[in-house]
Amino acid sequence: MTTSVPRAAAGTAYTSDVSRPPARPPRRGRTPRDLFLNLLDAHVADAAIRFVMGDEIVVTGNAACEDDDTVVLRVHRERFFARVLGEGNLGLGESVMDGDVTVERGEMWQFLTALVRNRVDRKIRGDWRAVLAVLRVQAANLLRRHQWRQVQQHYDLGDDLFESFLDSTMTYSCGYARTPDDSLEDMQHQKLDRICRKLDLRTGDRLLDIGCGFGGLLSHAAREYGAIGVGITTSRRHCEGGNARIARAGLADRVRLELRDHRTIETLGRFDKVVSVGMLEHLPRVEYGRYFRAIAGALESHGLGLVHVIGCTTTSNDHDPFIQKYIFPGSGQVRLSELAVQVERHGMAVRDVENMRPHYAYTAKHWLERFRANRHRLDASRYDERFARMWEHYLHTSIAGGFASDGALFQVLFMKDYTQSMPLVRV
């Protein structure tokens, strides 16, 4: 399935009509390069992927799938192969950051999606010969590999970065797409409105938003549904900036943000509705009980709650190592079973569960497009080229995860009163 072909002249597109010698088995060898290309060749069944290395082009995967949209990766340094074999997406992401590999045609998220969709990592684990070969590469890398958990790289991320790719509400969570062509503004508006309708928000309802960001959901709930409420955040920048936005919108008499965390909300009184979007995945698991206990304590007896969280659909929930190191250190992916048991333990009943995973792919695609369009406006001394490559790879990973991974984006709706009437259909 792997074919070596002459390198095209500079500027020539690598199209499917390029003359090639007859297909032959991939070069057998024990180098990281040979191992990596053979693994892709053996386990990617529904896509072709080209690698350009010096004067050689290698086509891996299913050559019958090759067309003008086939992803082409140019490998500039041979160490790329060992880094990916040794550390998966962390090695791939750092290779991108260091310029070891670039995408010559297509998008990195397409390459990642093909790997995830074909379950390449699982297939390798089921092949003992492949496992032994990969272990040899990892052992060779061991002395050179940095211990990233001890040297996490931190950037001073300011509002200017998030303004470069978020919508006008500064909503940094998955939107809701009615069609693949929806704009980011439409997706975020639809997400906020759908949450309000799931919560059956009504005029005068008291709403608590745990981890409220800049208050976009609270503002929408007040403006469109007549709710009043409080948002809490541990970010002073979010609190001050969000309250300024609320004041400019003329909603300061209806909603406000406070600088506090979920462990102190009992002092705020009771609420008709409680919502939390994109916060739980950043808490350690030992904190889940206190988090749901706080929600149960804040809800009136007739109340409804909704948690929107990045999760997983498998028994294990190991977060992507690249995102762990560079984007969200310490974050996790919550299992649905963990959510359900906490709701049950704290005297509440699950009313609705939705997995919105594909919507994350479309959201992150918009973020990637906006970041690329606006990155030139960012301060290059704070957000250098390496940072830009890092941020783009994070967004590529998010797109691929939304399209094909075992990840999830759960919205879990629950109620305090088990006897409460329920609608026949989901909003």
DSSP codes joined into one string, 92-158? HHHHHHTTSEEEEES-HHHHHHHHHHTTHHHHHHT-HHHHHHHHHHHHHHTTT---GGGS-------
Which residue shows structure tokens 């002249």?
Answer: 9
- Most confidently modeled of 110-119, 259-268, 291-300? 291-300
- Inform me whether the pLDDT recorded for 112 exceeds 60: yes
- Inform me whether the pLDDT recorded for 140 exceeds 60: no
Rounded Cα gap, residues 68 and 85, in angstroms? 28
Predicted confidence band at 122 (pLDDT cuts at 50, 70, 90)?
low
Rounded Cα gap, residues 101 and 77, in angstroms? 7
One-letter amino acid for residue 22 of the chain: P
Please report, for the chain, the start and end positions of each structural domain, with discontinuous segments joined by +. Answer: 3-145, 159-415
Rounded Cα gap, residues 210 and 362, in angstroms? 25
- Inform me whether the pLDDT recorded for 28 exceeds 90: no
For residue 87, the model assigns a pLDDT of 85
When comparing pLDDT for 145 and 384, which is higher?
A: 384
For residue 411, the model assigns a pLDDT of 98
CATH superfamily of 159-415: Vaccinia Virus protein VP39 (3.40.50.150)
Q: pLDDT digit string (tens) for 189-243?
A: 999 999 999 999 999 999 999 999 999 999 999 999 999 999 999 999 999 999 9
Q: pLDDT digit string (tens) for 279-314?
A: 999 899 999 999 999 999 999 999 999 999 999 998
Count the neighbouring beta carbons within 10 Å of the beta carbon of residue 275.
Answer: 30
Half-sphere exposure of 353 (CA within 13 A, CB side): 12
Q: What is the bridge-based pairing of β-strands 48-53 and 71-75?
A: parallel
Q: pLDDT digit string (tens) for 92-101?
A: 999 999 999 9
Q: pLDDT digit string (tens) for 42-88?
A: 889 999 999 999 888 899 998 888 888 899 999 999 999 988 888 88
Contact in structure between 277 and 194 (CB atoms under 8 Å): no
For residue 6, the model assigns a pLDDT of 39
Predicted confidence band at 141 (pLDDT cuts at 50, 70, 90)?
low
For residue 15, the model assigns a pLDDT of 43
Predicted confidence band at 365 (pLDDT cuts at 50, 70, 90)?
very high
Token pair, residue 269, equals 């009184």
DSSP state of 319: P
Predicted confidence band at 408 (pLDDT cuts at 50, 70, 90)?
very high
Predicted confidence band at 318 (pLDDT cuts at 50, 70, 90)?
low
Rounded Cα gap, residues 111 and 102, in angstroms? 12
Token pair, residue 421, equals 């009437």
Model confidence pTM above 0.95: no
